[in-house]
Amino acid sequence: MKLSYIALFSVTAVALAACHPNANTAGSSAASSAPGANVVATVNGTALTRNMFDYYLKGMLQGKDPASVTQPQKEEVLDNLVKAELVVQQAEKDGLANDPQTADLIALSRMQAIQQAFSDHFVKENKPTDDELHKEYDAQVAQLPHTEYHVEHILVANADAANAIIAQLGKGAKFEDLAKKQSSDSSKDQGGDLGWTTPERMVKPFSDAMVALKPGEYTHVPVQTQYGFHVIKLVDTRPLTPPTFDAVKDRVAQIVLGKKFKAYVDGLSAKAQIDKKM
């Protein structure tokens, strides 16, 4: 429960990160030949730098630890990078870099790379203050539920079946036994037990009925949702304690940065002349 509760502190604002451009699409014009550059190979006079190799290797690893790569594997990756550069050089000789679609892809890769650099710079220059973090934490906590509900239910296809179950409960039948025999929900094997939940996790008709019950009570009128008709029993309630500030500080910082970045971009949009054609 703790993990799912902390997960409520998720960043919903504009994402700060944009993916790096694929090194395979980088033309020879992107390869640095500046004096003193850390060159790992030259291809027909064009330098392939250590940074290019590292980005290319990172793309190949797909999240794996670079330290786990052996020297033979690094050499194989370098061979692939060299071959990619050879293909790019030949494509440029053939004029393919001037193809409108290819030019658009190159422009998009450039845009993503610069956007990533700007995002990284923005994060470094706009680190949230403790006051901003605490204010955001308080705002997030205020939106969280304060009570958790242990609930059971029996799901059937129509109101008549639900009313028949309610009638049996009134005669002393056990809720759990009826759930095992008649519920169409997967929770039937647990006697209809859905465990602990909060209202926002349930569809509204279900949550409205759930919060209106007292522990030990069940609904005396079938509750209709898009899934069918429910008979709901509230087993118990308990207070829900929010995660501590320290436990979610990093997530809160992401939210603050996301809001700052969105506000900054919105400001740019407000000042810009934008003519959309779609």
3-state secondary structure of 229: strand
| 61, pLDDT greater than 90 | no
pLDDT digits (tens, 9 = 90+) for 31-53: 444 444 599 999 999 999 999 99
| 121, pLDDT greater than 70 | yes
In a shared domain, residues 114 and 29: yes
In a shared domain, residues 213 and 170: yes
In a shared domain, residues 181 and 100: no
Q: What is the CATH number of the domain that holds 180?
A: 3.10.50.40
In a shared domain, residues 84 and 38: yes
pLDDT digits (tens, 9 = 90+) for 176-226: 999 999 999 999 999 999 999 999 999 999 999 999 999 999 999 999 999
d(CA 23, CA 113): 11
In a shared domain, residues 224 and 150: yes
Within a domain: 37: yes
Amino acid at 139: A
User: With contact defined as beta carbons under 8 Å apart, do 55 and 19 qualify?
Assistant: no
In a shared domain, residues 113 and 18: yes
| 56, pLDDT greater than 80 | yes
Place of tokens 């000042």: 271
> pTM, whole model, 2 decimals?
0.62
pLDDT tier for residue 11 given thresholds of 50, 70 and 90:
very low
pLDDT, residue 23, reads 36
Q: State the residue range of the domain holding 211.
A: 145-239
Listing DSSP states for 162-211 in one string gives HHHHHHHHHTT--HHHHHHHH--SGGGGGTTEEEEE-GGGS-HHHHHHHH
- C-alpha distances in Å from residue 132, one per residue of 185, 245, 254, 265: 45, 12, 12, 20
Q: What mean pLDDT, rounded, does the chain reach?
A: 87
pLDDT, residue 37, reads 56
**The total number of structural domains that make up the chain:** 2
In a shared domain, residues 103 and 169: no
Within a domain: 162: yes
pLDDT, residue 261, reads 97
d(CA 40, CA 101): 30
Within a domain: 73: yes
Within a domain: 127: no
